[in-house]
A and B are shown apart, each in its own frame.
Chain A
Amino acid sequence: MPKQTPSQTVGPYFRIGLYSDNEVYPRLFTGELATPEVSGERIRIEGTVYDGAGDPIPDCMLEVWQADSEGRYRTREGSWNDGFTGFGRVGTDEVGQYAIDTIMPGRVPGPNGGLQAPHITMLVYMRGMLLHAFTRIYFEDHAAANAEDPILALVPEDRRATLLAQRRPGKGPVALYRFDLQMQGDDETVFFDV
């Protein structure tokens, strides 16, 4: 039986192939997931990625995967024509910051018949990581749904806050959230073995 191909780091030069800055090789994916045709509550998630010394990481790549506002993962090509795929990709800037413009995901089924709280799956890649890590973004102001989420329930209570995007005062109709990632330390973001 064939065995899994091992992972290797995305390295410092991932932008060439995955997040190009030049016009000869346009990006396939960005941090803007929802065009105006897509229905749902507009949200913006901003954050900074920090290393174990507390320094921002300027060469991190983040990918996100989420359901639409009705809680559907868009896994079949051509089933929808509003351009929303639920997948996005960003690179952090010189000061380790990223931003994702999307819609609030709906609730999707959990492992035992109930519903999960709204969440976005996030994959973390960077030079110095030989294997990407999985985490989840939840939303602190969805407290009732979070309280019954079967995945959050598996996380020790004193670490759950690392998975909660915090609501911030925003401008205009877009709900603004803050979600920082700490790769190490007392407040290390929870990463999952999925």
Chain B
Amino acid sequence: MNVAQRKQTPRDWASNPPYIYPDYRSTALRGPRKPLIVIPETLSELSGPVFGHERLGPLDWDLTRNSAVAGGEAQGERIIVTGRVMDEDGRPVRNHLIEVWQANAAGRYRHKVDQHDAPLDPNFNGGGRVMTDDEGRYRYVSIKPGPYPWRNHHNAWRPSHIHLSIFGPTIASRLVTQMYFPGDPLFPFDPIFNSVPAEARERLISRFSLDITKPEWAIGFEFDIVLRGPKQTPMETA
């Protein structure tokens, strides 16, 4: 297909990890191995679901309180995470849903599969969701997740991270990713982080912001998200 006729930008393979990445062992049997079949975009790929704010709970944006027992609050370093969701032309992705989930401050997930010997926090479930506003901005409050061990290789630890799921304007712009924290000493050893081509990795690291940090209350981090989007003007190709 003529690339110039596409109505939205393609997946940027130079920005994304491969399906098979041997250092992350479980990709070996799970990632597709046959070449993907390129298809022209149809209404099926150029459309996407729309959700309303009314479906969210009043505390879905605050992970320190949305699952706390009465009067309780999650343990850990309180953080504010905010940023903009935009397309590759910098235009805001308005009124779309972001879902987040994470480990607690001790590096433990509230999940039956997580057997890490670290305490669960009775006031922390670890899930949250927000909508972007008219400028594509979002904001949620949580605690900084701890690093945790996994069994990918000897002495394997995941850097602190928050999982994110983002709906964009089309089903093709859908993104699931992880946000990391600046200066994490575990970066060089983490195959999931390093599966991303080197020049794109820093896009997964949030920035500390004193402006977002709230005095006597919480540390602020900024994390912008860029999705595939509709093309503004068709490009000419030779």
Residues of A within 8 A of B (CB): 1-18, 20, 22, 24-26, 28, 51-53, 55, 57, 59, 63, 65, 67, 73-78, 85-87, 108-111, 116, 119, 121, 123, 125-134, 136, 150-151, 154-155, 183-184, 188-194
**Contact indicator A85/B49 (Cβ below 8 Å):** yes
Residue of A nearest to B203 (CB): A5
Q: How far is the CB of B40 from chain A (nearest CB, A)?
A: 4
* Interface residue? B81 (CB, 8 A): no
Residue of B nearest to A121 (CB): B44
* Interface residue? B156 (CB, 8 A): no
- Contact for A59 among B49, B88, B113, B197, CB less than 8 A: B113
Beyond the given pairs A16-B109, A24-B66, 7 more chain A to chain B contacts, judged by CB atoms under 8 angstroms and listed by A's residue number, are: A8-B192, A11-B163, A28-B99, A51-B30, A130-B195, A184-B31, A194-B172
Could you tell me the distance between the alpha carbons of A94 and B225 in the complex, rounded to whole angstroms? Answer: 33
**Which 7 pairs show the lowest CB-CB distances between chains A and B?**
A17-B101, A128-B26, A128-B30, A130-B17, A87-B49, A73-B47, A52-B29
Could you tell me the distance between the alpha carbons of A131 and B99 in the complex, rounded to whole angstroms? Answer: 17
The DSSP consensus for interface residues of chain A is loop
- Contact for B24 among A52, A130, A184, A193, CB less than 8 A: A130
**Contact indicator B171/A123 (Cβ below 8 Å):** yes
Chain A residues whose CB sits within 8 angstroms of the CB of B40 once the complex forms: 111, 150-151
User: Can you report 12 A-B residue pairs in the complex whose CB atoms are below 8 A from each other?
Assistant: A5-B225, A7-B17, A10-B165, A16-B125, A17-B99, A63-B174, A128-B29, A130-B24, A134-B172, A190-B34, A191-B32, A192-B36
* Interface residue? B127 (CB, 8 A): yes
Residue of B nearest to A65 (CB): B171
Could you tell me the distance between the alpha carbons of A133 and B27 in the complex, rounded to whole angstroms? Answer: 13
Docked complex: B100-114 residues within 8 A CB-CB of A: 100-103, 109-111, 113-114
* Interface residue? B228 (CB, 8 A): yes
**Contact indicator A116/B44 (Cβ below 8 Å):** yes
**Contact indicator A25/B172 (Cβ below 8 Å):** no
* Interface residue? B224 (CB, 8 A): yes
The DSSP consensus for interface residues of chain B is loop
Could you tell me the distance between the alpha carbons of A85 and B113 in the complex, rounded to whole angstroms? Answer: 32
Say whether, besides A7-B175, A77-B52, A116-B44, A20 and B127 are in contact (CB < 8 Å).
Answer: yes
* Interface residue? B189 (CB, 8 A): no
Chain A residues whose CB sits within 8 angstroms of the CB of B224 once the complex forms: 2, 5
Q: How far is the CB of B142 from chain A (nearest CB, A)?
A: 11
**Contact indicator B226/A130 (Cβ below 8 Å):** no
Could you tell me the distance between the alpha carbons of A151 and B1 in the complex, rounded to whole angstroms? Answer: 13
Could you tell me the distance between the alpha carbons of A52 and B28 in the complex, rounded to whole angstroms? Answer: 8
Chain A residues whose CB sits within 8 angstroms of the CB of B177 once the complex forms: 5-8
Could you tell me the distance between the alpha carbons of A75 and B227 in the complex, rounded to whole angstroms? Answer: 18
Q: Which of A13, A18, A59, A108 has the most CB of B within 10 A?
A: A13
Say whether, besides A129-B27, A130-B195, A6 and B113 are in contact (CB < 8 Å).
Answer: no
Docked complex: B49-70 residues within 8 A CB-CB of A: 49-52, 55, 57, 66-67
Chain B residues whose CB sits within 8 angstroms of the CB of A18 once the complex forms: 99, 101, 165
Say whether, besides A13-B101, A16-B110, A108 and B176 are in contact (CB < 8 Å).
Answer: no
Chain A residues whose CB sits within 8 angstroms of the CB of B47 once the complex forms: 65, 73, 75
**Contact indicator A193/B36 (Cβ below 8 Å):** yes
Q: How far is the CB of A112 from chain B (nearest CB, A)?
A: 8
Say whether, besides A4-B12, A5-B177, A65-B49, A151 and B42 are in contact (CB < 8 Å).
Answer: yes
Say whether, besides A3-B15, A129-B27, A183 and B226 are in contact (CB < 8 Å).
Answer: no
* Interface residue? B90 (CB, 8 A): yes
- Contact for A116 among B10, B42, B192, CB less than 8 A: B42
**Contact indicator A17/B100 (Cβ below 8 Å):** yes
Could you tell me the distance between the alpha carbons of A130 and B15 in the complex, rounded to whole angstroms? Answer: 12
Q: How far is the CB of A131 from chain B (nearest CB, A)?
A: 5
Q: How far is the CB of B219 from chain A (nearest CB, A)?
A: 22
